[in-house]
A and B are shown apart, each in its own frame.
Chain A
Amino acid sequence: MTSDEMTSNEAAGPGRKYKLPSEISQLISVFGAQMRLYSKSKVAIAFIILALVIPVLAYSGAAETIIKGMIKAIPSTSYLLILLPLFTIAIPAMMAGRILSSEFANRTAYLLFTLPVSRTTYYLGKFLAALTLSIGVFAMAYAFAVICGSGMYGPSYPNDVLSSFVMCAVGVFALTAMAYGLSTYFKKGSTGLVISMMIFLPMIILALRGMTGDLDLSEGTGSSVFDPLMMLPPFTGYQSLYLIDNGIGGTSLRSLFKAFIGPYPLFAYLLVSIIWGTVFLILGMLNVKRKEL
């Protein structure tokens, strides 16, 4: 029986042949199943709750006290998102860093890889689910912070919030893709590796710049010399915080993060993150495609 002879799949019943759906439909099915798996995962639910309490955690006093000790800044929405640099690394790594490795370890891949679905479809469907959830977590955090910030510190500028969120989302893409792609190479996933690499990398760069006297964060005077390595994804959290306070006059928290923004247009930072993420995504895909079970 050829595909043309097959009946409508909805009408098809016992003993009938089913026409294989398009790869896009299959990708949507893989995406949907992964989202359903997330909905049953305690870790994923914990992160969504955490996203909603990020602003609360920041506003609880500790962060504010520390920041005020470092810089005389006008309170703003960025106060509520002060944990962004940490969470832009941790959340993507935890959401995407174990998906594929656990599929192989738990032998669910042995079921799915025998189905008439290309490995690329399978790989991308799961990645899109991880990315959607990660970006969704930050979208909720932003929305909550903007709503709370508007009430406490006055209205935020929509363009600044948008550019900050785009920077954050692209950074999340880069780090999700990195964690996801690398997870195909490690039996126990890449979560730990990505978190440690992406937290230590900025610290090493900042320490090196501090030692050479090129970096001065104390008053945000802007005297620092920009390091091109700061265009890499682990810095997108800091850059997002800088961008969100763009329209605020006087000395705001953004002064602290001025050192992370160099003399390049926003597009350049986004491009670096997109290339970074795409490279890791392709590396992971090549590994999955040639993987022998």
Chain B
Amino acid sequence: MLAQLFNADICRKCGDIFTNAIDVSGLTKSFGGFTAVNNVNMTVRKGEYMGLLGPNGAGKSTMLKVITGMLSPTSGSAFVNGVDCKDHRKAMETVGCVIETPECYPNFTPTEILSYVGKLRGITGPGLNARIREVLDEVRMWEWRDRPIGKFSKGMKQRITLAQALMPDPDILIFDEPTSGLDPRGLVEVREILKGLKRSDRSLLVSTHMLNEVSEVCDSVTIIRRGQVVLSDNVKDLLKRKAGNVTIDVTVRNSITQGFMDDLKNFVGISDAQRTDEHSFAATFSGNDDREGIVELVKQHRLGLFSLNQKGSDLETSYLSLTGEEDKDDIR
């Protein structure tokens, strides 16, 4: 009762009441007749790294904007660290955000913008310079500290916006597509920074439509489609649960015989088997992912195994089935 009252959970082991990092309850946001976020419930626990996954226009950014006070909810509520987001100043005190690729003043240097953000967050005196040095080191921008931001590449600008989010050494990080629009190098750099931010007392909510970003960085995933949550699960559990639906593409050196295809279709755990050309076939597991058995069958028929690849990631399979075929183009 008390826990519900304060948007908190009770620890099963010790019985202590603790607040969640982010609590979204019945959140709806409409723009005129269009409902971008529809009655969403979501919780990010302290120390949890959650990926908010969904195709473009699914409502991810809208949800993050409501949580960070850039938009007001039509109905429902969002709490950060137990503080209602309507109290923006208090709610954002321990939160670092990067929402919708913001820009820094092009005439400012990284030191100037971080000094500005630091002062607004209450970091003063020698502590301010020390903190600026720390975050610029963290995003690998220290050597560029006195150059105007306007002359930076998109990836460098993105690292500066990440640095400003890190200034207060926040407990909660909220990033909206932090790698969006970056070239492959910038993308890898920013992703490495994200991985480096992980620590036990810090929570992260990151929206993305890049599946590998979620599997690399996050512990849990919430998939959102057309403004509604369609799945919320631990990434590991999700992968385990979906293992039975894995499809593999196999290429062999010799021509595939009808006898092999008949044996394959009768193989335990195979729900579907198709010959794709003279030397290739695809097989989908409905039960256990018994790849070793398939390799053995290929050996028995003396086909000569050339390659065996999993078709897409398990997360991708889940994503596609949950968000629908029409969203395939949004996946990278």
Chain A residues near B (Cβ < 8 Å):
9-21, 23, 25-26, 29-30, 32-33, 36-37, 40-41, 106-111, 113-119, 292-293
Q: 0/1 per residue, B62-83, Cβ < 8 Å to A?
A: 0001001111100000000000
Q: What are 23 pairs between A and B in contact, CB < 8 Å?
A: A9-B125, A14-B130, A14-B134, A17-B94, A20-B122, A21-B121, A26-B120, A29-B119, A32-B116, A40-B107, A107-B100, A108-B102, A110-B101, A110-B102, A113-B70, A114-B68, A114-B92, A114-B95, A115-B121, A116-B92, A117-B120, A118-B88, A293-B100
Interface-centre pick from A11, A19, A41, A113 (highest chain B CB count, 10 A) = A113
CA gap between A13 and B133 in the complex, in Å: 11
Segment of B13-21, B38-46, B161-169 in the binding face: B161-169
Of the residues A11, A25, A37, A119, contact of B127 by C-beta under 8 Å: A11
Q: A116 to B88, Cβ gap below 8 A?
A: yes
Contacts of A12 in B (CB 8 A): 123, 127
Contacts of B126 in A (CB 8 A): 10
A115-B70 CB under 8 A given contacts A10-B124, A15-B169, A18-B168: no
Contacts of B134 in A (CB 8 A): 14
A33-B116 CB under 8 A given contacts A12-B123, A113-B70: yes
- Whole-angstrom distance from the CB of B168 to the nearest CB of chain A? 5
Q: B121 to A114, Cβ gap below 8 A?
A: no
Q: A110 to B112, Cβ gap below 8 A?
A: no
Q: B88 to A19, Cβ gap below 8 A?
A: no
Q: State which residues 161-204 of B face A: CB under 8 Å.
A: 161, 164, 168-169
Contacts of B124 in A (CB 8 A): 9-10, 21
- Whole-angstrom distance from the CB of B127 to the nearest CB of chain A? 5
Contacts of A108 in B (CB 8 A): 102-105
CA gap between A109 and B100 in the complex, in Å: 11
CA gap between A13 and B123 in the complex, in Å: 9
Q: A37 to B103, Cβ gap below 8 A?
A: no
Given contacts A10-B124, A113-B70, A114-B98, 7 further A-B contacts (CB under 8 A): A10-B127, A17-B94, A111-B103, A114-B97, A115-B121, A116-B93, A116-B120
Of the residues B69, B117, B119, contact of A21 by C-beta under 8 Å: B119
Q: B70 to A293, Cβ gap below 8 A?
A: yes
Q: A107 to B102, Cβ gap below 8 A?
A: yes
B90 at the interface (CB under 8 A from A): yes
Size of chain B's interface in residues, with CB distance under 8 A?
Answer: 45
B99 at the interface (CB under 8 A from A): yes
- Whole-angstrom distance from the CB of B228 to the nearest CB of chain A? 21
Q: State which residues 252-310 of B face A: CB under 8 Å.
A: none
CA gap between A36 and B109 in the complex, in Å: 12
CA gap between A23 and B120 in the complex, in Å: 9
- Whole-angstrom distance from the CB of B124 to the nearest CB of chain A? 5
- 3 smallest beta-carbon distances between A and B, as pairs: A10-B125, A110-B102, A111-B102
Select from chain B the residue with minimum beta-carbon distance to A293: B70
Of the residues A32, A107, A117, contact of B103 by C-beta under 8 Å: A107
Q: A114 to B99, Cβ gap below 8 A?
A: yes
- Whole-angstrom distance from the CB of B136 to the nearest CB of chain A? 13
- Whole-angstrom distance from the CB of B107 to the nearest CB of chain A? 4
Select from chain B the residue with minimum beta-carbon distance to A14: B134
A292-B72 CB under 8 A given contacts A13-B130, A16-B169, A107-B101: yes
Contacts of A30 in B (CB 8 A): 120
Q: State which residues 120-157 of B face A: CB under 8 Å.
A: 120-127, 130-131, 134
- Whole-angstrom distance from the CB of A167 to the nearest CB of chain B? 35
Q: A18 to B103, Cβ gap below 8 A?
A: no
B89 at the interface (CB under 8 A from A): yes
CA gap between A292 and B65 in the complex, in Å: 9
Contacts of A110 in B (CB 8 A): 70, 99-103
Contacts of A106 in B (CB 8 A): 103, 106
Contacts of A113 in B (CB 8 A): 69-70
Q: B120 to A14, Cβ gap below 8 A?
A: no
